[in-house]
Structure 1
Amino acid sequence: MSDIPNEIEEYVFKALDWIRGKHHIRKGLALLLIALLLGLAGKFAYDLYPRHYELTISGGGMLSKSHYLTKVLQAEAAQRNISLTIVPMAGSFEALNELNAGKLDLAFVQGGIDPMGYDNVTQVASMPPQLIQFLVKDDVKTIQDIRGKQVNLGEKNGGPSIVSNQMLRFSGLVPEVDYVETNFNDEELLGMKPEKLPQVIVQISYAPSAVVDFLVQKRGYQLLEMPFPASLAMRMGWVSDAKILAYMYRIAPPVPASDIHVIGVNLNLLANKEVDPRAISKLLEVLYKPKIASIVAIPISEDKILTPSGFPISNGTDMYIASKQPLITSQMIDQIKGLFGLIMTLASIALVVFKWFKGPTDDEEGDGEDGDKKKSDAPTVGDHMDNLSSSISKLT
């Protein structure tokens, strides 16, 4: 029994000799092997063949920083055979409806929106949070001072409107009871006479924002600090505690005069579920290039790619993450070792069972006590079964 590996090798060579002597079997195996190799070569050639992808994408309104990010992404993606056609949209709900209908491929969409009813939309990546910036006239010093004022929240029932109303309700202010909601878009606000502007304007964007810049420097608005972001972040997974640094929008007089806490809302890159996963994977390679983050001045990190948005993860995102993993991991090596041990154990058990059924040879019967001693020293079927259990446990 001590020479079991050698005996297995002998049986393997006998089987190969038998196959080699059968012309038809040998020819069939050769043809099968050639077909497999050709198929494998064809797959590799297909994967290596350069493709050109054409996708539509929205970054929101034309004055938003997410739209600027989309333009930068468009320029960089063109170098990777990806043509992005930018489709400006008024708000996140419009973009979501277009994604769900298959009329739009990709869109940057604000977090905090219920994914129910958008079955054709998937999450590609999660971006750094945008900031909810409350711009107020001089007579508004605290959240409670908003009572009785006009508050502009952008598109009616749009993403900023829904999120901002939740923030104000959390502060004890009831929409259309404690304040009046207005719904001017950015272009209307910039073209409006100063005396017609609402007392409070809410902007959801990265800082610095071009619209906030104009309203602070040309219309005299101030930034209002939100006193409860940390506690709110514990209630709602799509918000985070964020900060606007002092002097962000003006130096003299400073706006804000010191660092202020505000609420951050996740920005998500979403896609229609039918978009080619390979196109999404290649686009993510562009998005996470250091050059993109440097140009738009936004800390874009792969570590946040899977931050939950409520939407299922795109197959393209899974493909991108898989491409970043090493080809052979230590876990894979351990599994290969375990598999090899399992195969050898099974082969040993098969040989033991085969010899047991075959019965003892004349030499084994004449060994007497010495033979019995050798048999007692030889591994039994139970020993081989223990080895089998050990090998299987290594695979799990």
Structure 2
Amino acid sequence: MSRIRKFSQFSFRDLVATAGPTILLIGALCALAYVIVDPAPPRHMRLATGQENSAYEQFGTKYAAALAKDGIKAELVRSLGSQQNLQQLNEGKVDAAFVQSGSTDEAAAQRKGLVSLGSLFTEPVWLFMREPVAVTQLGQLKGLRINLGPEGTGIPKLFRQVLALNGVEPADLAIGALENTPATVELLEGRIDALVFSSGPDALLVQMLLQTPGIRLFNFDQAEAYARRLPFLSHVVLPRGIVDLGRDLPPQDYHLIAPTATLVARANLHPALIELLVQAATEIHGGAGWFQQQGQFPSARYTEIPVAREAAKFYKDGAPLLQRYMPFWVANLFDRLWVVVVALAALIIPFSKVVPPLYVWRIKSRIYRWYGQLRTIEQELEEGAADGREQVCDELLKRLDDIEARVNHMSIPLAFADNLYGLRSHINFVRQRVLLTLKTAAAAR
């Protein structure tokens, strides 16, 4: 039975010998396409945040935690603020950053290769003053000591534009450039009269100053006019009692002007990371807040920077289908496999027409090479000298017996059995010619 089974199966060795190089070539080309055409997303990225205790820094920590769930390490890079974040993006030192609206424009963003992943939240301009300072209009700030923060933040540029609308020049003020935390200490100690910074209402400094006795928040009564004159600003209202209803803090509605915080990335950031960042933004910023409704943020609106294609698709259709039901890396693998499938199909179709003939040729070549031996024997039989023909015939018969013995031990699939039996009949045919020649030589002697 073992011999019958052996001759009943196809020749696996011949199949490997003929199809093996093709399979290896296809595998190598597919692997090359998989790596080069759509590389795997990196497991590390750099995210520029903001100053210590700022809303940017707090949100950066939340983004790092969200990305860590999918095995992505987000390195948080502390900065002075929006302007420095934008500079680091332009220089390629970070992959993504929080940037304040009004910091750049569409043409500059496209020229530097930057894309928006969506606006995240409004970050009002907070102007806190000491109680003795009686200021109801920005024009009354002349001569006061006011801290606008370092030039790396977005506020100095923004607030100068606001002051210019009120006819106030920077030279009319004693402007400080301290970071928010030391500037707050200076304000509480009375060494400066006012402090300006832009941040989300969740920032610790905002919460503290809103509840600090002797510190007053400036009310931008003309907020709607500022929003009309400077399109990157919005008019928002801090409702009465929102900080502490029991103590009625604040004691009135406050009108504020607010740019929008935007998550900006370099255009060459891997699409899968963009999708992860946008999904994280939805989890972090999608709820209701002091100045936003449920689901208002993140959004493809409120940004002057072109929105990334993956982000726009997410805001329109939601998360990719596979990522709704699979872990990130599994979904990403299947999402990238289409490249391999296309490459595989393009190669298998032509190679499928080449491998079968090669397989048939390899098996038949094991049979055909014995025909060369038979032809050699016939030539030697015809060229043999008449006086030594009997000896030649004896040697040829021994060679034919050896050939027949080897052929009988050949492993040939049953599909090619007719070729094997044809070879054996031809061996016998040549043997009969040799025997006839031997008989004729013996009779002649």
* TM-score range relative to shorter protein: 0.5 to 0.7
Does 2:273 correspond to 1:283? no
* Inter-partner Cα distance in structure 1 for 2:179 and 2:144: 18
Q: Alpha-carbon deviation of 1:306?
A: 1.6
Q: How far apart are the structure 2 equivalents of 1:300 and 1:56?
A: 29
Q: Distance in 1 between matches of 2:314 and 2:210?
A: 41
Q: 1:157 to 1:284 in 2, by over 3 A?
A: closer
Structure-2 change in CA distance of 1:194 and 1:324 (3 Å):
closer
Deviations for 1:182-234, whole angstroms, at most 9, x for unmatched residues? 11112312444744432111121111431133345446210110012212222
For 1:120, give the aligned amino acid. Answer: G
CA contact under 8 A between 1:74 and 1:84: conserved in structure 2? yes
Residues 90-129 of structure 1 mapped to structure 2, 5 A cutoff: 90-115=80-105, 119-129=112-122
- Within the alignment, does 1:314 sit opposite 2:308 as a pair? yes
Q: CA deviation at 1:87?
A: 0.8
Note the C-alpha offset of 1:86. 0.8
- Structure number with larger C-alpha Rg: 2
| In 1: Cα distance, 2:42 partner to 2:112 partner | 27
Change (3 A) 1:273 1:52: closer
Greater shift, 304-313 or 76-85, is seen at: 304-313
CA-to-aligned-CA distance 1:311-340 (integer Å, 9 cap, x gap): 22224324535753999xxxxxxxxxxxxx
Is it true that 1:71 corresponds to 2:61 in the alignment? yes
* Cα deviation 1:316-374 (Å, max 9, x = unaligned): 324535753999xxxxxxxxxxxxxxxxxxxxxxxxxxxxxxxxxxxxxxxxxxxxxxx
Map of 2:124 onto structure 1? 131
Q: Partners of 1:295 and 1:310 in 2: how far apart?
A: 23
Q: CA deviation at 1:270?
A: 0.3
The 1:161/1:106 distance shift into structure 2, 3 A limit, reads same
Q: In the TM superposition, what is the alpha-carbon distance from 1:265 to its structure 2 partner?
A: 0.7
Q: What is the distance in 2 between the residues matched to 1:237 and 1:203?
A: 19
Amino acid at match of 2:129: V
Structure 1, 116-125 or 257-266: larger mean CA deviation: 116-125
SS at match of 1:72: helix
1:227 corresponding residue in structure 2: 221
Corresponding position of 2:381: none
Is 1:158 the counterpart of 2:153 in the alignment?
A: yes
Amino acid at match of 2:100: Q
Deviations 1:129-172 (A, max 9, x none): 11111101223344343222111111136311111121122223
Residue type matched to 1:316 in 2? E
Of the three residues 199, 204, 213, the one matched with 1:210 is 204
SS at match of 1:113: coil
- Alpha-carbon deviation of 1:255? 4.5
Match status 1:89 vs 2:79? yes
Q: Distance in 2 between matches of 1:295 and 1:81?
A: 30
Tell me what 1:342 maps to: none
> Per-residue deviation at 1:68?
0.9
Question: 2:176 — aligned with what?
Answer: 182
Contact conserved, 1:222 with 1:255, CA < 8 A, in 2?
no
Residue of 248, 260, 269 corresponding to 1:266: 260
Q: Secondary structure at the match of 2:217?
A: strand
* 8 Å contact kept, 2:50–2:78: yes
Inter-partner Cα distance in structure 2 for 1:230 and 1:173: 19
Change over 3 Å in CA distance of 1:320–1:208 after alignment to 2: closer
Determine whether 1:143 maps to 2:133. Answer: no
Query: Residues 120 and 245 from structure 1, CA distance in 2 versus in 1: closer, same or farther, beyond 3 angstroms?
Result: same
Aligned residues, how many?
293
Secondary structure (helix, strand or coil) at the match of 1:275 reads coil
Cα distance in 2, alignment partners of residues 326 and 78 from structure 1: 19
Runs of 5+ consecutive residues of structure 2 not aligned to the other structure: 1-24, 322-445
Q: Deviations over 1:31-51 (max 9, x none)?
A: xxxx99xx99x999x999996
Give TM-score, length-normalised by structure 1: 0.63
RMSD over aligned Cα atoms: 3.9
> Percent of counterpart pairs with the same letter?
18
- Tell me, what secondary structure is at the counterpart of 2:276? helix
Shift in alpha-carbon separation, 1:283–1:300, aligned structure 2, 3 A? farther
- Whichever residue aligns with residue 137 of structure 1, its letter is R
Unaligned runs of 5+ in 1: 1-34, 328-396
TM, length-normalised to structure 2 = 0.57
Shift, 1:295, TM fit: 11
The residue type equivalent to 1:203 in the other structure is F
What secondary structure, in the 3-state scheme, does the structure 2 residue paired with 1:148 have? coil
Q: Deviations over 1:278-300 (max 9, x none)?
A: 21112212221278748999767
